[in-house]
Chains A and B, each alone.
Chain A
Amino acid sequence: DGGITQSPKYLFRKEGQNVTLSCEQNLNHDAMYWYRQDPGQGLRLIYYSQIVNDFQKGDIAEGYSVSREKKESFPLTVTSAQKNPTAFYLCASSIWGDEQFFGPGTRLTVL
């Protein structure tokens, strides 16, 4: 149904590997976000980007990296430095300071 998409839906990673999660939006939003969702923890902000070629660390950025080369795309790399990467990852986009629209999520499992 368009809007904001994430791929893949499920991702498996071996310890020590980096993996990249994709997030694309066609809503013409300037701002994009990455959250991590764990049971009982709610949504915790990893990184956000207000505009192309700019991004800021959120509350739990250690072990993650992002890029924002295009307005439509905000990929997240989970590096081997992330100690506990198994989680559900949500991407969102918005007009800055307004309602956020969420993607369907990627479930990452470290084997």
Chain B
Amino acid sequence: AQRVTQPEKLLSVFKGAPVELKCNYSYSGSPELFWYVQYSRQRLQLLLRHISRESIKGFTADLNKGETSFHLKKPFAQEEDSAMYYCALLGHGGSQGNLIFGKGTKLSVKP
């Protein structure tokens, strides 16, 4: 079954510290992966997707097929990064075309 796992419900770091939000997926083929972010009182929005290989708001995510991971990283966290982060996998087979979401990680950046 295709699945996305985000092992941390809550991640708390201090401003200026590096941050890594973990995402592991289960899928035997070539995955298409996304990170979505939900800031307080704002709608869920796309942060980045691995095929674009962009860096958005200082965040990057590298696909590691060997470890089936797509961890989200930022070298220096800012207070405005505090939000809920969801990793998602584009489904195949019975879930063709749908996004399969992890349960999310709440990032709290303290001053």
- Residues in A lying within 8 Å of B, measured CB to CB: 31, 33, 35, 40-45, 48, 50, 58, 90, 92, 96-97, 99-100, 102-105
Contact = CB atoms under 8 A, between A and B. Distances in A.
**Chain B interface residue count: which class?**
10 to 19
Interface residues of A, dominant DSSP: strand
Contacts of B45: 102
Contact of B98 (A42, A48, A103): A48
Given A40-B9, A42-B86, A100 B99 contact: yes
Nearest to A99: B46
A43 B98 contact: no
Contacts of A48: 98
Interface of B: 6, 9, 34, 43-46, 49, 86, 90, 96-99, 101-104
B34 A99 contact: yes
Contact of B97 (A31, A35, A102): A31
B90 A103 contact: no
B10 to A, nearest CB: 10
Given A97-B90, A99-B34, A104 B99 contact: no
Contacts of A90: 44
A41 B97 CA distance: 21
A42 B102 contact: yes
